[in-house]
Amino acid sequence: MSIQATATDLLTIEGLGHVYEGTEPFEAIGKLDFTVPEGAFVSIVGPSGCGKTTMLRCLSGLMKPTRGEVRLEGEPVTGVPRDLALVFQDYSRSLFPWRTVAGNIAYVLPRDLPKAERAARVQESLDAVGLGEAGAKYPWQLSGGMQQRVAIARALAYRPAILLMDEPFASVDAQTRAELEDLMLAVREQFGMTILFVTHDIDESVYLADRVLVLSKSPSTIVESLDVDLPRPRDQVSTRELDDFVHLRSHIARLIRDQSMKGRPAA
């Protein structure tokens, strides 16, 4: 807690657990307790099948958890709260193909927003993701990385207090991924947002975050919470060379490997 020691908690998760009912009930989430301080960038990383998507759906209010409580700004989350936005992994099925890029963004803004301000907000968020010129295009005319930029711009224009991201860069190539990571750090500065970022990429989780939460396999619990004290602004090359970075990523990699080995018959 060295970084946000004085900050208030924006998102509080208490005793969160979820069991999928059915003929064979499946406990996706065991028990999760954590907080996301205001202004923090928190990464969640875990082995595959650690209930990350279930967790995000519960946190965002898209799904009602079987146990526990999620509070945003002190208010219990029942539906999707106004101050929360979610960026999905599958940008191509999240953007509306029948609307232009600018139309996709404008459509999530409140109806009573004056026209001029609406246009200004669309342009501002497009500029922030480096797509200032692409407003009139359709999402399907853009590359995958650019489509995810549009999805991010849409969330930015909505002005949430907290942005949840579900493995947003999992389906873009490495080069684009690095660009988008730096983009996230930049827009976070510009818009002053709190970000909860779920990924399966260990390096990415350390590179971006102030704090990394390592999840266990399902039923998921938090194995360890690690504060990342790497200096900002971060740099794709020099940050990744730092001893602290290397130690952190190795430590997390070991935790995750131990998790993946669990319950697996010895070779």
Partner 1 sequence: MKVSSSVDTVSLATPPRPTRRRPANGSRRLKDFAVRWGALLAIGLVWELAARLADNLFFPPPSRIIERFFELWLSGPPTTFFLTESVATNIMPSLARLLGGWAAAVVFGVLLGVAIGRSKVVGDYVEPIIHFVRAIPPPALIPVFFILLGFGNEMRVTLIAFAVIWPVVLNTIDGVRSVEQLHLDTGRVFEFDWRKRFFGIVLPSASPKIFAGMRVALSVAIIMMVISEMVGRPDGIGNIILGAQRTYRMDDMWAGILLLGILGYVLNAILSAVESRITRWHRGSREGVS
CA distance 116 to 114: 6
Of 122, 117, 142, give the one whose Cα is nearest residue 132: 122
Nearer to partner 1, 17 or 139 (CB): 139
Nearer to partner 1, 141 or 225 (CB): 141
CA distance 5 to 26: 37
Supply the minimum distance, in Å, between the C-beta of residue 28 and partner 1: 17
Supply the minimum distance, in Å, between the C-beta of residue 58 and partner 1: 13
Nearer to partner 1, 82 or 247 (CB): 82
Supply the minimum distance, in Å, between the C-beta of residue 121 and partner 1: 14
CA distance 61 to 78: 6
Supply the minimum distance, in Å, between the C-beta of residue 108 and partner 1: 4
Residues in the chain: 267
Supply the minimum distance, in Å, between the C-beta of residue 59 and partner 1: 12
Nearer to partner 1, 46 or 61 (CB): 61
CB atoms within 10 A of CB 22: 7
- Helix axis angle for 174-191 and 115-128, nearest 10°, is 130
Nearer to partner 1, 93 or 264 (CB): 93
CA distances from 80 to 94, 197, 216, 232 (A): 16, 17, 26, 32
Positions touching partner 1 (CB under 8 A) are 60, 62, 79-80, 82, 84-86, 88, 90, 93-94, 96-99, 107-108, 138-143, 154, 158
CB atoms within 10 A of CB 33: 12
Supply the minimum distance, in Å, between the C-beta of residue 211 and partner 1: 24
Nearer to partner 1, 17 or 145 (CB): 145
> Residue 81 corresponds to which tokens in the numbers above?
């709260």
Long-range contacts of 169-175 (CB under 8 A, 24+ apart): 169/199, 169/201, 169/204, 170/89, 170/199, 170/200, 170/201, 171/89, 171/90, 171/91, 171/144, 172/144, 172/145, 172/148, 173/145
Contact status, residue 206 vs residue 249, Cβ threshold 8 Å: yes
Supply the minimum distance, in Å, between the C-beta of residue 262 and partner 1: 32
Strand partners, 41: 195
Nearer to partner 1, 135 or 139 (CB): 139
Supply the minimum distance, in Å, between the C-beta of residue 90 and partner 1: 6
Nearer to partner 1, 98 or 264 (CB): 98
167 φ/ψ sector (left φ>0, alpha ψ -120 to 50, else beta): left
